[in-house]
Amino acid sequence: MPERLESAAIDRMLEDLSRADLGDPRRVARAQAVASRMATKPDASLPDAMVTDAELEGAYRLFGNEHVSFERLFDAHANGTAERARSSQLVLAIHDTTTCMFRHADPEEVGYLNTGKPGFPLHLTMLVDTQTWRRPLGLTHAEILPRENPPTRRGATKKKRPSSHHTSKDQDREFLRWHRGIEVTEARLTGSNASVIHVADRESDSYVLMATCLRNGHRFIFRARNHRSALVDGAPIPVRDLIADAPVVLEREVPLSRRLGSPLPQRRRTHPPRESRVARLCFSATKATFKRPNIVGADMPKTIEVSVLHVFERDAPDGQEPVDWLLYTTEPLDTTSQIEAVVDYYRCRWQIEELNKALKTGCVVQERRLESLDALTTMLALSLPIAVELLALRTLARTDPTSPAELVFHKQELAALAHISHRPLPKNPTVQDALWCIAGLGGHIKNNGPAGWQVLQRGMEKFITFAAGWCAARGLDL
């Protein structure tokens, strides 16, 4: 995927930034100038991305300005996202939490991760259009959750300390990010013609969250994590036993991409590594009534009813974890087309994981050497829209690979790419043709499937350097 955005993508970001309330139009202009430079070279360091010393000094002043905050910059992008969603009939609001680690930073300043390293969790909500090649439209919610104290080591003597993320109160506050993401997104889309389905992974599995969505009329597809029991004729029965009795109503072959295992043991258990393959998936559906848990307050309904969809793989290869999803949803599951739609909508959740990769690998936010939390989060607010546009380009290449490469590259750049690439570039190349050549420059091997972010980044670095010299030698402007 190209690490350089085309002018239309940059124009969208600058238009969003024009809405930012920074108290002075000169600050808005500075934010636009910095964002434009960062978008042109997302994977470059700030000194490399800024062309002159004056621009670099201006960027640092922007990041340290008390009138320029993460919230103000992000709101401008989120409002632009809501505007783009108004022309859609149905959008997916995909929710996820990732961690941003800053090795160079002081954890007393930026917060602690569960590992004790400096950084913070980042909760995001991204809108995806269901009609236009699953296009990422932008973000509607972003929440930084810095933790003031390091995690308590197992077996260590507990000491009295200020309120930290280890208290049940703060754990509740962090979990409520799912509620806030949904409510903020719904509020931003008030008055829009677009319907919204909220999609989230296992961390969102909560009786209170589902009950709140049902009470407020919000549609959702949440993956199950907890071992719940459903009520059948007033008696509890494990929901997996209930769905096991439901007939298989549909089977489909679905390509699964390769997944590397996380170095974190807990994430590695929930997301084990796998090789790419075509999986034979089976689908069963039923209705389930859940009883309010004892730990949930009386303000929640005594029972809720949701649709349950079981997606499981038959005959998984030896040594590979079979696909096994249990989805709770408000969507009807009466026909095969309805079941297919829910599965396809849930599978779009991978896009927010790719967004996190674009943010960390494509925009190298974790490598930005800024010291204060305010400076890092301001930089993050400018990087998030860039990551969305990078993801949109990669999504376009995957879902509509026949689009002309000139949507992304200038003619001069394509001429340079044809010259340097050891893979042939056709006379009228598509987006996929160009990405294939760039992946080859990064060391991509054909049999390894689609190129990853790191391979594409290496290829883009080589290509951009060569293209600049190649065009300069011929008196061409990029």
User: Strand 235-238 vs strand 229-232: parallel, antiparallel, or unpaired?
Assistant: antiparallel
Check whether residue 390 and residue 407 sit in a common domain: no
Is residue 144 within 8 A of residue 359, CB to CB? The reply is: no
DSSP 394-424: HHHHHH-TTSBGGGTS-HHHHHHHHHH-SS-
Read off the pLDDT of each residue in 183-189 and give the average, rounded to a whole number.
96
Is residue 203 within 8 A of residue 171, CB to CB? The reply is: no
Check whether residue 380 and residue 408 sit in a common domain: no
Check whether residue 195 and residue 307 sit in a common domain: no
**210 in a structural domain:** no
pTM above 0.85, yes or no: no
**343 in a structural domain:** no
Number of domains the chain contains: 3
**313 in a structural domain:** yes
Which of 2-6, 158-162, 282-286, 444-448 has the weakest average pLDDT?
158-162
Which of 42-56, 68-82, 136-150, 336-350 has the weakest average pLDDT?
42-56
Check whether residue 36 and residue 109 sit in a common domain: yes
Check whether residue 60 and residue 179 sit in a common domain: yes
**380 in a structural domain:** yes
pLDDT one-digit tens code per residue, 224-258: 998 899 999 999 999 999 999 899 999 988 777 66
pLDDT one-digit tens code per residue, 28-46: 999 999 998 888 778 788 8
pLDDT tier for residue 314 given thresholds of 50, 70 and 90: confident
Q: Which CATH number do you get for residue 461?
A: 1.10.740.10
Choosing from 335, 364, 383, the residue where a domain stops is 335
The proportion of the chain whose per-residue pLDDT surpasses 90, expressed as a percent, equals 47
**215 in a structural domain:** no
Domain extent, residue 428, equals 403-473
Check whether residue 319 and residue 271 sit in a common domain: yes
**Better pLDDT: 271 or 300:** 300
pLDDT one-digit tens code per residue, 109-160: 989 998 889 999 999 999 999 986 788 999 999 999 988 888 876 555 444 4
Check whether 169 has a pLDDT greater than 90: no
User: What is the pLDDT, as a whole number, of residue 381?
Assistant: 92
Angle between helices 177-188 and 168-175 (to 10 degrees): 30
Residue 185 structure tokens: 């997104």
Check whether 172 has a pLDDT greater than 70: no
Q: Which CATH number do you get for residue 285?
A: 3.90.350.10
User: What is the pLDDT, as a whole number, of residue 416?
Assistant: 87
Choosing from 335, 364, 386, the residue where a domain stops is 335
